[in-house]
Amino acid sequence: MINHEHYTYRIIWSAEDEEFVGLCAEYPSLSYLADNHYQALEGITNLVKDVVADMETNGEKIPKYSYTLSC
């Protein structure tokens, strides 16, 4: 079972939408808009959790975590 909390998440400000955007590196097609960065992180994390659960149920290949370190 994949732990969705181990994925790489990022929160950015969208001037166009005037909201924070939650993103996940392993699922580049997903995003979540929110009024603050905490809600954006919670939203994208929950969205990825739901997608992973659906993929597991359907026997689909689930992306591995991307452990990228930079110094």
Divide the 71 residues of the chain into consecutive groups of 10 and give the mean pLDDT of each group: 89 98 97 98 97 96 73 46
What's residue 2's pLDDT? 81
What's residue 14's pLDDT? 98
pTM > 0.85: yes or no: yes
What's residue 24's pLDDT? 97
Closest alpha carbon to 66 in 5, 6, 2, 1? 6
What letters, b where the CB count within 10 A reaches 16 and e where it falls short, cover 4-36?
beebebebeeeeeeebbbbbbebbeeebbebee
Contact 31, 44 (CB under 8 A): yes
Provide the residue ranges of all domains of the chain, joining segments of one domain with +: 4-53
